[in-house]
Amino acid sequence: MENSKTLAALFIHTLVLVAPLLVMATDPDPLQDFCVADLNGMPTVNGYPCKPPSSVGDEFLFSSRATKGGDPMSNPNGSNVTELDVTHWPGVNTLAVSMNRVDFTPGGTNPPHIHPRATEVGLVTRGELLVGIIGSLKSGNRYYSKVLKVGDTFVIPRGLMHFQFNVGKEEASMVVSFNSQNPGIVFIPLTMFGSSPPIPTPVLAKALRVDTEVVDLIKSKFTGGY
């Protein structure tokens, strides 16, 4: 009887130690060659449901979407983003990769923003771009920047605020890639002044140390979004 109690206690003790590991156990890598996204399904933690292999050809491996950029004059920022995330390129589903092409008018900017779910690597393919990265509070909010030309590259750590600005006299372009099929984006100006419902004006006035009239003026610039 004593031995049974000892074995039972040992089993319970072992279970308490091992259970958290079982709960946390995952398989971070894809378990099949490809999982072409079924965009009609509901996304889960690892992506969209897979289409049956028999129902897809090989076109999901390739995309010509980024061969032509959009019109950078289509918004006040003077830039246009051509997205190649999972919703535009279903073949990247579960592969933790995606791409964007960004085109700029002279003086155009990709405004300060963050990608909450991905690190970004970029290549300038045309023109000259000022790339700026702002560190976290722990770094003293340090500002890192450099003017990059064709062939130059840059990296943006996940979650850090950054921007690109065309400092040249001609149009500029860049191609960027992410280590997420859906990196997400939070535009800082739009988030602060164009949220829905809006952030209370007194909150922004206090945070920015300006009069409420200034906040209301800036908010009026973002009523139509980006």
Distance from C-alpha of 210 to C-alpha of 179, rounded to nearest angstrom: 38
Contact by Cβ (8 Å): 109, 79: yes
77 is in an annotated binding site: no
Distance from C-alpha of 26 to C-alpha of 109, rounded to nearest angstrom: 40
162 is in an annotated binding site: yes
Distance from C-alpha of 95 to C-alpha of 76, rounded to nearest angstrom: 34
Give, for 204, the enclosing helix (H) or strand (E): helix 201-208
- Amino acid in position 220: S
13 is in an annotated binding site: no
Task: Label each residue of 70-126 as H, E or C.
Answer: CCHHHCCCCEEEEEECCCCCHHHCCCCCEEEEEEECCCCEEEEEECCCCCEEEEEEE
182 is in an annotated binding site: no
110 is in an annotated binding site: yes
Numbered residues of the known binding site for oxalate: 100, 110, 115, 120
Annotated binding site: 100, 110, 113, 115, 120, 162
Q: Which residues are annotated as a binding site for Mn(2+)?
A: 113, 115, 120, 162
